Chains A and B, each alone.
Chain A
Amino acid sequence: GQNIDQPTEMTATEGAIVQINCTYQTSGFNGLFWYQQHAGEAPTFLSYNVLDGLEEKGRFSSVLSRSKGYSYLLLKELQMKDSASYLCAVRDSNYQLIWGAGTKLIIKP
């Protein structure tokens, strides 16, 4: 079966750096997405990786290793507004999006 694994919850301190991991086992691979979802709001697109390596967007970076079936999202200079759930999703060989359950990130002052 297809599976996306993410930690359920993480806690970090304002101003620090946090890494959210995502491992996947899917039938084929056609890209990996990270979304942010604040409580009660819509998921919003953060990043997309299809080749191994780093994608940077401001304070957020995402890294992909296809050989390891692994990605992580790196959040730097954490702000209170970064408290949210972070969803990892992989597009399989049929271009279906397989979603993880999300990682709830709690930022403390």
Chain B
Amino acid sequence: ETGVTQTPRHLVMGMTNKKSLKCEQHLGHNAMYWYKQSAKKPLELMFVYNFKEQTENNSVPSRFSPECPNSSHLFLHLHTLQPEDSALYLCASSPRLAGDQETQYFGPGTRLLVL
């Protein structure tokens, strides 16, 4: 238990569906992150939020839409996804966005399968 929870843990969706992933952190952190993890590939940073403000969008397709209503909650809204979007989506948080020792704490991830 890292203090970061994600729901759902598994999701199967069709290419025309709309779904949302939810992340909640109970650590009092101010920065939150979405990552995509595909098999045998490095973690890909998708979005970064600092004090609810988006600070990073690493050329992510518009079919992924993040939302951060407060420092404890982060959503990833999904629509018209492609089969290649199937992956493990990880949420993480850290006390601050930058600094010498900003360790990120990860949630267990949502395993997404797009059919």
Interface of A toward B, CB cutoff 8 Å:
4, 8, 30-31, 33, 35, 40-45, 48, 50, 87, 89, 95-102
Contact = CB atoms under 8 A, between A and B. Distances in A.
B66 interface: no
A100 B40 CA distance: 10
Given A41-B108, A42-B106, A4 B100 contact: no
A13 B109 CA distance: 30
Contact of A45 (B42, B100, B103): B103
Interface residues of B, number: 22
- Listed from nearest, the 4 A-B pairs whose CB atoms lie closest are A42-B106, A99-B42, A99-B43, A95-B98
23 contacts: A4-B42, A30-B100, A31-B101, A33-B103, A40-B108, A42-B4, A42-B90, A42-B106, A42-B107, A43-B43, A43-B90, A43-B106, A44-B2, A44-B106, A45-B105, A89-B43, A95-B97, A95-B98, A96-B45, A98-B42, A101-B41, A102-B40, A102-B42
B93 to A, nearest CB: 11
Most A CB atoms within 10 A — which of B2, B42, B45?
A: B42
B104 A97 contact: yes
B96 to A, nearest CB: 10
Given A41-B108, A42-B2, A43-B106, A101 B101 contact: no
